[in-house]
């Protein structure tokens, strides 16, 4: 059990992965590159855009290049995902229960801020997550633990008292490196591919709050 919960966003709060894959494939093709699922698993899933764009371009982009490529790719993603935007099944009920029980919640996402603002704005998530750490607030992307350590500090809890919800291998490694147990969502990878996690779930319909929160004060 844990005193605070930290959620990744893509593949955890919302199943954006099919739309990110399509957007990355399209954008890479526009730049003259042919990428596949294996390449995306290695360079994109769970990672910040700087790392993904560096891998795609074959060199470290300047800040201006990074802004342009991020804006172009994410505009493709938002256009694709907007008609399909929805929380993972069962998450609306879980978040309402967590808020009522005063469970400290945070989001720690490799996504750029424009995506966070889009998804939070469309789904009204700000009421549940007083702490959001996005890619503009870190210098090292997952699997480095920086993002999860910053989330724990912002929640005023110790890392070992946090439970993380992740969908990517790099995210699981980041959480473990921060000393946090992980519940994996099988939205990006198959259930059997995850090892050394507390539990693997496909969504939140059968997830029970009381089984994973100890109800202690986090102050």
Report, as residue numbers or ranges, the catalytic residues: 8, 10
Phi, psi of 213, rounded to the nearest 5 degrees: -135, 135
Distance of CA 92 to the CA centre of its chain: 17
Q: Is 175 exposed, middle or buried (0-12, 13-18, 19+ CB in 10 A)?
A: buried
The one-character DSSP state at 131 is: E
Instruction: Give the angle 78-99-118 at the CA atoms, nearest 5°.
Output: 10
**Beta-strand (E) ranges in 167-218?**
182-185, 199-201
Distance between CA atoms of residues 18 and 185, nearest Å: 15
d(CA 62, CA 190): 36
- Helix, strand, coil: what percent of the chain each, to 5? 50, 15, 40
> How far is it, in rounded angstroms, from Cα 163 to Cα 6?
6
């Amino acid at each position: 059990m844990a005193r605070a919960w930290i959620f990744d966003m893509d593949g955890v709060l919302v199943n954006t992965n099919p739309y990110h894959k399509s957007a990355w494939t399209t954008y890479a093709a526009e730049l003259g590159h042919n990428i596949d699922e294996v390449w995306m698993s290695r360079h994109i899933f769970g990672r910040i855009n700087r790392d993904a764009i560096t891998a795609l371009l074959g060199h470290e982009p300047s800040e201006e290049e990074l802004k342009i490529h991020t804006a172009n790719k994410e505009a493709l993603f938002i256009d694709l995902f907007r008609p399909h935007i929805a929380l993972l099944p069962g998450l609306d009920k879980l978040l309402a229960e967590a808020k009522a029980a005063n469970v400290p919640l945070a989001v720690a996402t490799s996504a750029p801020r424009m995506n966070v603002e889009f998804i939070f704005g469309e789904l009204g998530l700000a009421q549940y997550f007083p702490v959001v750490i996005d890619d503009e607030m870190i210098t090292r992307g997952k699997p480095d633990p920086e993002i999860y350590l910053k989330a724990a500090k912002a929640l005023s809890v110790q890392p070992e008292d946090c439970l993380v919800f992740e969908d990517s291998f790099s995210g699981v490694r980041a959480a473990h490196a921060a000393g946090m147990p992980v519940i994996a969502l099988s939205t990006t990878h198959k259930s059997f591919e995850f090892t050394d996690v507390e539990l693997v779930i496909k969504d939140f319909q059968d997830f029970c709050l009381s089984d994973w929160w100890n109800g202690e004060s986090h102050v």
